[in-house]
Chains A and B, each alone.
Chain A
């Protein structure tokens, strides 16, 4: 599965796409099947929302403890908050947070690759 993520313009908060809205919790993100063209359509739409978000991109997900988690470790940190202090989104706790914390898969982050390409 995939999800669409970005940082919110006004405060930089990590946000996820959910049926035309931006939500803060990864647990609330809309999931797109790997071959679902709606994902690309949402991404294209998001790129035009310049007063709402910065640098939207799609991330790949995998199963973890029966739930979905980003494949990239960087994206899990974005979804949870930093690991050195417990004051990011992980503060909320719950099954989704646990699923992300316990996910062990890994892949390069498209967000970082894009960032470096743009530099």
Chain B
């Protein structure tokens, strides 16, 4: 993985020292809350319902064991012994004390981590395919480009005070595991017929109050021109983004109001003016690429006898392998998905012990590589198939072997009203109730791929708009109600879900999901996922069943 150089380390140390001074001035009363708030948010420190929350940046969701162990140690020492992985592949610590925050920053800096650009109206932490460097599907390693964007965007003076926050995702596979089309900019690496690398550039996606799927403004941008093109997009946005209305401040509104063609035209004109100056020199690109050089893999047979024997001997392992072990580009290796969605637990939460167990496994079996997914799970991207049974056993020992990837209980949920100051309703307990309904793994597998995404308010951190079943918590005269949407997708077939009907009270949501699944099982044709069936039948049979129950 990419290693910070002396300059990076000095910068982080300076930044942490600066933050320590800011906190001291706030505690002494030299800064009031309004003055301090914008400074703490520059360092990912929020004030939530019960305590401060620190959002630690995990660039393109990539961690080494030392970093994950440090996060575990910080959670144990300064928090309540757990952390929450988010849909932006960051880690949130929900019980932080302001007085401890400067020390925590120093500890993060000691392992080349920080919380810069995890908040504020700047270019946020860049996300990338969690299978990067491991999947045979990709045509290039998206981390190379995500790292280039990270370097370019970090404290970029022109783009530190945008009209609103700005999120970029990079993928290089036809199967999109980054929700690229829901980002302000989604970049999809492609190869032209002449073999050259380039990006499909999608701009103006976003969820929240007004969901938009990003349209493509350029089919093929030569890869080496990426940074100047991003600069052109950001410059158009910085100039035209609505600073007068927070609800209309994202780039999606600029793209929608100008129209895609006009927006693209303005970007191209600006790009021409900018020239090639901001672009990455080949030497620098080569240096970054070197940090992501392919791992050294052993030459192994494609079929592992040890794996097959364990499959035959242990039905529980066979189920895990079926759902959580994904194909690797290298014969004899696999990608292990570590579910943070144990039935009854909080989606995305990991205890310090669990983080340490994953760090140990990455060291012992996984080439020191750990990824965080936007679906709030972890990934060990390079595990020998021979070692998969041992990895499974070790994961099971700490409650991390739930075999439910992409199944109904693999639910995205934001922290919701249990923690978040902006939430209208709880999301976590709704997820727990639904997961409990589908605790029977045979039934969950029978249902197949079904993505449920839950947000506790319209800001949509839980991506509800793009859930196959989306659930949005609303405040109805102070009570928790939930609006269900169907047919959304955050993947390559991205779509915004369609409302099912009137909002349901809290205690009816899990039952309604059960009913929706029953309708799907009744209506589905061979090979159809829930999403496919919905797209074929439309909302009518689902609506009828859920609201018939209500009458």
A33 adjacent to chain B (CB < 8 Å)? no
Given the complex, which residues of A lie within 8 Å of B98, measured CB to CB? 9-12
The reply to whether A78 and B47 form a contact with Cβ atoms under 8 Å apart is: no
Q: Is the CB of B52 within 8 A of A87?
A: no
Q: Is there a chain A Cβ closer than 8 Å to B223's Cβ?
A: no
Q: Please, how many angstroms separate the alpha-carbon atoms of A111 and B98 in the complex?
A: 20
**Which residues on the A side are within 8 Å of B390 (C-beta)?**
none
Question: Contacts A12-B52, A12-B97 given: A83-B478 contact, CB under 8 Å?
Answer: no
In the assembled complex, which residues on chain B have CB atoms less than 8 Å from the CB atom of A116?
422
Smallest CB separation, B203 vs chain A (Å):
25
Query: Per-residue 0/1 for A1-31: is the Cβ within 8 Å of any B Cβ (1 yes, 0 no)?
Result: 0000001011111100000000000000000
Instruction: Judge if A73 is at the interface, Cβ distance under 8 Å.
Output: yes
Q: Are B50 and A88 in contact (CB under 8 A)?
A: yes
Q: Is the CB of B479 within 8 A of A74?
A: no
The complex places the Cα of A84 from the Cα of B98 at a distance, in Å, of 24
Interface residues of B in 1-52 (CB under 8 A from A): 26-29, 32-33, 47-52
Query: Apart from A12-B96, A73-B478, A105-B478, what are 18 other A-B pairs with CB-CB below 8 Å?
Result: A7-B47, A7-B51, A9-B26, A11-B98, A11-B99, A12-B52, A14-B49, A14-B50, A51-B27, A54-B47, A55-B33, A83-B428, A83-B429, A84-B426, A84-B428, A84-B432, A108-B478, A112-B422
Contact assessment for A115 and B417 in the assembled complex, using a CB-CB cutoff below 8 Å: no
Residues of B within 8 A of A72 (CB): 478
- Tell me how many residue pairs across A and B have CB atoms closer than 8 Å: 87
Q: Is the CB of B97 within 8 A of A112?
A: no
A50 touches B422 (CB 8 A): no
- List residues of chain B with CB within 8 A of the CB of A73: 417, 478-480
* Docked pose: A84 CA to B432 CA in angstroms: 9
Closest partner residue, chain B, to A109 (CB atom): B478
Measured between beta carbons, the chain A residues less than 8 angstroms from B48 are 12
Q: Of A12, A50, A107, which is within 8 A of B478 by CB? A: A107
Q: Is B273 an interface residue when CB atoms closer than 8 A count as contact?
A: no
* 8 Å CB interface, B44-63 against A: 47-52
Give chain B residues whose Cβ lies under 8 Å from the Cβ of A10. Answer: 27, 97-99
Chain B interface extent, by class = 35 or more
Q: Which of B346, B421, B424, B477 contacts A84 (CB 8 A)?
A: B346
A75 CB to closest chain B CB (Å) equals 9
Residues of B within 8 A of A54 (CB): 33, 47
Within 8 A of A (CB), among B404-454: 417-419, 421-424, 426, 428-429, 432
Contacts A84-B428, A84-B432 hold; do A50 and B33 have CB atoms under 8 A apart?
yes
Whole-angstrom CA separation of A11 from B417 in the bound complex: 19
A12 touching B51 in the complex, CB below 8 Å, given contacts A72-B478, A87-B80, A106-B478: yes
B313 at the interface (CB under 8 A from A): no
Question: Are B246 and A119 in contact (CB-based, < 8 A)?
Answer: yes
Assess the A112–B421 pair: CB atoms within 8 A: yes
Tell me which residues across on chain A come within 8 A of B417, comparing CB atoms. Answer: 73-74, 77
Q: Is B261 an interface residue (CB 8 A)?
A: no
Q: Does A41 contact B (CB under 8 A)?
A: no
Q: Does A85 contact B (CB under 8 A)?
A: yes
Residue of A nearest to B26 (CB): A9
Which 5 residue pairs are nearest across A and B when measured between Cβ atoms?
A106-B478, A82-B418, A11-B97, A12-B51, A107-B478
Find B29's partner among A51, A83, A88 (CB 8 Å cutoff).
Answer: A51
How many angstroms between the C-alpha atoms of A10 and B97 in the bound complex? 6
Indicate if B262 sits at the interface (CB-CB under 8 A).
no
Please, how many angstroms separate the alpha-carbon atoms of A83 and B296 in the complex? Answer: 46
Q: Which residues of B contact A50 (CB under 8 A)?
A: 29, 32-33
User: What 0/1 pattern do residues 76 to 112 of A give for CB contact below 8 A with B?
Assistant: 0110011111011000000000000000011111011
B475 beta carbon closer than 8 Å to chain A: yes
Instruction: A57 to B176: give the CA distance in the assembly, Å.
Output: 45
Give B79-105 as 1s and 0s: 1 = Cβ < 8 Å from A's Cβ atoms: 010000000000000001111000000
Q: Which of A55, A85, A105, A112 contacts B346 (CB 8 A)?
A: A85
Chain A contacts for B418, CB-based, 8 A: 77, 82-84
CA distance A50 to B50 in the complex (A): 18
Q: In this assembly, does A61 line the interface, its C-beta being within 8 Å of a C-beta of chain B?
A: no
B287 to chain A, nearest CB (A): 41
Q: A14-B49, A14-B50 are in contact. Are A84 and B429 (CB under 8 A)?
A: yes
Q: In whole Å, how far is A114's beta carbon from the nearest beta carbon of chain B?
A: 10
A94 to B80 Cα, complex, angstroms? 23
Q: Is A69 interfacial (CB 8 A cutoff)?
A: no
- Give the shortest distance, in Å, between A5 (CB) and chain B (any CB): 11
Q: Which of A13, A55, A81, A82 is packed against the most chain B CB atoms within 10 Å?
A: A82
CB distance from A104 to the nearest CB of B (A): 9
Measured between beta carbons, the chain B residues less than 8 angstroms from A111 are 421
> Is A9 in contact with B478, judged by CB distance below 8 angstroms?
no
B96: which A residues are within 8 A, CB to CB? Answer: 12
A93-B366 Cα distance, complex, nearest whole Å: 44
Is B47 in contact with A12, judged by CB distance below 8 angstroms?
yes
Residue of A nearest to B428 (CB): A84
Q: How far is the CA of A14 from the CA of B48 in the complex (A)?
A: 10
User: Considering residues A12, A85, A115, which has the most beta carbons from chain B within 10 angstroms of its beta carbon?
Assistant: A12
Interface string of A35-79 (1 = CB under 8 A from B): 000000000000000110011000000000000000111100110
What are 5 sample pairs from A and B whose C-beta atoms fall under 8 A apart? A7-B51, A9-B26, A12-B51, A84-B426, A115-B421
